[in-house]
Chain A
Amino acid sequence: MSWPHKDLLDVSQLSRDDVAVVMKTAASFREINSRPVKKVPTLKGRSVILFFAEPSTRTKTSFDMAGKRLSADTFALTKSGSSLVKGESLKDTVLTLLAMNPDAIVIRHGESGAAAFVAERVSCAVINAGDGRHAHPTQALLDAFTLLEKWGTLTDKTVCILGDIAHSRVARSNVILLSMLGATVRLCGPRTLLPPSVDGWGVEVHSDLKKAVAGAHAVMCLRLQLERQQAGLLPDLREYAGRFCLSSAALTGADPDVRVLHPGPINRGIEISSELADAGQSLILDQVASGVAVRMALLHLFITRKDRGDKE
């Protein structure tokens, strides 16, 4: 399997064949994760820097675990513990990290385009673990992996993404990837939380939850950042939940086997009801498990491509 990319900045750079390679590789690692001894020597002696300039628990832990299960050495650098709080520029931080000669840098940053900024300046692989509102490709890949494990295909499936689309890198990457894999994507949220020029995204847009989920095979809830109320985008959380909180009752018009996803961390009772989050149709914990397998696959593909002499 050849891997033509130096970096993973967004899913838009991937072909369908690339995505198939990731899925197939992730499936093989998924099997390792169910063994009693969950470790293989694939990346022994390789080092991965986890550079998280924005708070993150699950994505960082997921990458950390993925690296360790492949026997790579992982080094976590967070903003509060880095020189960024001392006023060091991103360029200088990155050049310093590069001087340590890592095999890959996994970056989470609050500015859109930050992963591309880093990738242009380093020779090692850069994996975008979320840049501003722009992209979160590993989340989209793990969401697709989760759904593919259940369904086998996304063709003729309808997936509704619900909530704060405007500020969501998860939504942006998922719209691109799910559409590429053949799903029909719908977006649902109040107009204030839909991106401007969303008409150019090639998706259906709804502000009525019932219509948005009608016949849907999956609904992906997004986390609502509580500061949206202060920014004047919402009256209050109670009213938001009244219109958009996903519950079993709200799903009555959806496909009988509808699945529910959430990238986490969830706000129970705001974007998803507590009972639904714990219900059998929820894939939230499957997403977490898929996340480790997909990130193992990505670290493996990006770090070993030079060994195999893959061409860009």
Chain B
Amino acid sequence: MALPDLAVTNLIFPETPHAVDLLCRKGRILAVLPHAPGAVYEAARTLDGRGLTLLPGLTDAHAHLREPGQEWKEDIASGLAAAAAGGFSNVMCMANTSPVNDTASITEHMTKRAAETWPHGPRLFPIGALTKGLLGQELAPMAELRQAGCVAFSNDGRPVADAELFRHAMEYASDLGLRVIDHCEEPSMAPGAGMNEGRVSSRLGLPGQPDVAEAIQVARDILLADYLRIPIHLAHISCRRSVEIIERAKARGVPVTAETCPHYLHFTEAEVEGYNTLAKVSPPLRTRDDVLALIQALRQGVIDILATDHAPHAAHEKETPFGEAPCGITGLETALSLSFVLTDKGMLDAADIVRLFSTAPARLFNLPHNTFAPGDPADFVLFDPREAWTVTPESLFSKGKNTPCLGRTLTGRVVALFIAGQPVFTRGEYAPAAMAAASRRTHGRNS
């Protein structure tokens, strides 16, 4: 075996019952070995993993980074900082920028900004617009967008009402070998309400959107995917009704995949009480019954992946009466902590989280990823499952502080993210200055 140039020892590894040592060479995985106390890896930079959990770098298939055009909410530099702090080595960003990502020059601008600001990653993979200007009238130039680097197409945020146009968009995208991601929300039913239709909306006097608004479009998309035999990916599924339709479709072999987001697994419509605009999101937070259906769907593979739908807004934009606030919750920096809360409750296990937030989304969109097989990119997260931290505006790298987690204490935090063997994000004792100091103490060298 070639000699490692990086070793992280004594790590908890979800796939094995015992602790491991991770060995990397030239940015790739060399081996994951059972932990050997006192082992010395010659010539390798060696880090003490001290019982941290080793996870592969995550892939977020659904984020809004706002650049170009709405840099006061987020930009690519701050969005990727948030991604790095959350453990994401790959980020797919949605097309609803201003101007919309419907031409190669916008896609190229995005990837150039990412390379300039985060040259070692997180890697940015833009999602191209499905229709020009997201207007739902004409197809976007998908071949040109693919050439420029887009990895999927979506009209996210502006669902396409026209079934005939949507069919053609699926057909055209399938020629290019790329998947359409659909934001399922029948646009005539309370668009932008950001609140579930039900007892809470009724009492608060807020217009609500019923779950059937989502399920109607889920059903349409599945019928089209079945008829055309073209794959479709359904974004941010929020309710039991949709889960049941997807489950039946998968049982019949329809090429459909689906995602949901950590906030739909933790919060219900009750979060809106007091007109809490931080809980205003599209699709809206639903009921306890929906939460249970989504978790079960994740365990059973009915829902294939988790994604954040990270949707940053400026503080003043959310400090309004509920009806005037924009929809959106930020998620990159809380995703892993919220997911691990479910492991504490026994609802998911760590291997589920690896599958849902890393392997499955990366495979679905053909992105580089780490399965810890020799030769895989050394993209990995060191996660402290015991660290308790309180979510405050100051604790977040994203410009968007709009999360209902604000003020709550979460358990479990990303301590470091390595991409291709490079530490792109570190915290606490793994921060470069602290590591240099530790290195001086250990080896008595000058730096």
Contacts and interface: CB of A to CB of B under 8 A. Distances in A.
Interface of A: 89-91, 109-114, 116-117, 131-135, 169, 172, 195-198, 200-201
A131 B275 CA distance: 12
A200 B316 contact: no
A200 B205 contact: no
A197 B321 contact: no
A117 B202 CA distance: 19
Contacts of B199: 197, 200
Contacts of B274: 116
Contact of B322 (A89, A91, A113, A197): A113
Given A89-B316, A91-B320, A112 B206 contact: yes
B319 A133 contact: no
B319 A91 contact: yes
B205 A169 contact: yes
Given A113-B204, A196-B210, A132 B197 contact: no
B327 to A, nearest CB: 15
Contact of A113 (B202, B275, B316): B275
Given A196-B197, A196-B210, A197-B199, A116 B275 contact: yes
A195 B202 contact: yes
Given A113-B275, A114-B321, 7 more contacts: A91-B320, A111-B323, A113-B321, A113-B323, A117-B320, A135-B205, A196-B208
A196 B319 contact: no
Interface in B113-131: none
B198 interface: yes
Contacts of A134: 204-206
Contacts of A117: 275, 320-321
Contacts of B244: none
B202 A90 contact: no
Contact of B202 (A89, A91, A131, A198): A198
A105 B321 CA distance: 17
Contacts of B202: 195-198, 200-201
Please name the 8 residue pairs, one residue from A and one from B, whose CB atoms are nearest each other, closest first: A134-B205, A113-B275, A133-B205, A111-B321, A112-B205, A111-B323, A197-B202, A197-B199
A117 B320 CA distance: 7
A172 B205 contact: yes
B70 interface: no
Contact of B321 (A90, A133, A195, A200): A90
B263 to A, nearest CB: 21
B321 A109 contact: yes
A58 to B, nearest CB: 21
Contacts of A201: 202
17 contacts: A89-B320, A90-B324, A91-B316, A109-B321, A111-B322, A113-B205, A113-B206, A113-B322, A113-B323, A114-B321, A116-B275, A132-B205, A132-B321, A133-B207, A134-B206, A196-B208, A200-B199
Contacts of A172: 203, 205
Contacts of B207: 133
Nearest to B324: A111
A159 B17 CA distance: 68
B201 interface: yes
Main secondary structure of the interface of A (DSSP, over half): mixed
Contacts of A132: 205-206, 321, 323
A183 B205 CA distance: 22
Q: Which of B207, B210, B321 has the most CB of A within 10 A?
A: B321
B219 to A, nearest CB: 21
Contacts of B201: 196-197
B320 A90 contact: yes
Size range of the chain B interface in the assembly: 20 to 34
A109 B320 CA distance: 12
Contacts of B198: 196-197
Contacts of A169: 205
Contacts of A89: 316, 319-320
A142 B206 CA distance: 24
A202 to B, nearest CB: 11
Nearest to B275: A113
A198 B201 CA distance: 11
A163 to B, nearest CB: 16
Q: Which of B198, B205, B207 has the most CB of A within 10 A?
A: B205
B401 to A, nearest CB: 16
B211 to A, nearest CB: 11
A124 B25 CA distance: 66
Interface in B56-92: none
A95 B8 CA distance: 55
A137 B36 CA distance: 71
Contacts of B316: 89, 91
B191 to A, nearest CB: 14
A10 B319 CA distance: 21
Contacts of B210: 196
Interface in B180-229: 197-199, 201-208, 210
Contacts of B319: 89, 91
A104 B319 CA distance: 22
A132 B322 CA distance: 11
Contacts of A196: 197-198, 201-202, 208, 210
Contacts of B321: 90, 109, 111-114, 117, 132
Contacts of A133: 205-207
Q: Which of A110, A113, A169, A197 has the most CB of B within 10 A?
A: A113
B204 A112 contact: yes
B161 to A, nearest CB: 16
A113 B207 CA distance: 12
Contacts of B197: 196-197
Nearest to B195: A112
A268 B289 CA distance: 46
Contacts of A113: 204-206, 275, 321-323
A119 to B, nearest CB: 11
Interface in B300-335: 316, 319-324
Contacts of A131: 205
A18 B324 CA distance: 33
Contacts of B205: 112-113, 131-135, 169, 172
Interface string B268-284: 00000011000000000
Given A133-B206, A172-B205, A112 B320 contact: no
B276 to A, nearest CB: 9
Interface in B207-261: 207-208, 210
A113 B203 CA distance: 11
A113 B274 CA distance: 8
Interface in B158-175: none
Nearest to A199: B199
A89 B324 CA distance: 10
B198 to A, nearest CB: 5
